[in-house]
Amino acid sequence: MLYDRLKSRRSIRKFQNKEVEKEKMDVILKSALLSPSSRSIRPWQFIAVTDTELIRQLSLCKDHGSQFLAGAPFAIIVIADQESSDVWIEDASIAAAIIQLTAQDLDLGSCWIQIRERFHSKQVTAEEYIREVLGIPEQYSVECMIAVGYPGEEKKPYEEDLLPYQKLHFNKFQV
């Protein structure tokens, strides 16, 4: 059941030194293309990166929170055409989440790396840096990168008893 998979879903930042099979990469990428989007505009595009040197360069896009990508065999960069939809952020986020859940369903680990609103240096945004590394045209915004690979770390699943139930409201907002 998906709910059981969700309880054990954790961000994985350490990966085994093992390639992700092409069949699994294809399933993940096709899943991304199945993502729902507002008015079905599908403003997103996905860049699948397996080149070790490119992954190393991408891992340097921010001063923290992205370095671990250097140890991942596979990265998916989620970009979207801002002009084509006013809700491209929502659309791209949903696709990124679907990428992560599909990866988990294939016994892979993954972690989101935030790019939008993040900086490479004082002068250069993380987005500009990535655009340069991957040759992404100006019209596309870079939302995030998803690191994917076979897990090289074990993380405890979430415990149902400890969920933040106070965030749930029924019928009306309860103070």
Ligand X SMILES: Cc1cc2nc3c(=O)[nH]c(=O)nc-3n(C[C@H](O)[C@H](O)[C@H](O)COP(=O)(O)O)c2cc1C
- Where on the chain is the footprint of ligand X (CB under 6 A)? 10-11, 13, 65, 111-114
Short-list 96, 84, 101, 85, CA closest to 143: 96
CB nearer ligand X, residue 23 or residue 107: 107
CB nearer ligand X, residue 65 or residue 152: 65
Cα–Cα distance, 117 to 143 (Å, whole number):
9
The letter for the amino acid at 172 is K
- Residue 149, token pair as written in the block: 């690979």
Residue 163 CB, nearest approach to ligand X (Å): 12
Residue 133 CB, nearest approach to ligand X (Å): 17
Inter-helix orientation angle 22-33/88-105, to 10° = 150
Residue 20 CB, nearest approach to ligand X (Å): 19
- Residue 27, token pair as written in the block: 């399933």
Residue 11 CB, nearest approach to ligand X (Å): 3
CB nearer ligand X, residue 5 or residue 39: 5
φ/ψ (deg, to 5) at 77: -100, 125
CB nearer ligand X, residue 8 or residue 139: 8
Residue 171 CB, nearest approach to ligand X (Å): 28
CB nearer ligand X, residue 23 or residue 160: 160
- In the chain, what are the helix, strand and coil shares in percent, each to the nearest 5? 40, 20, 40
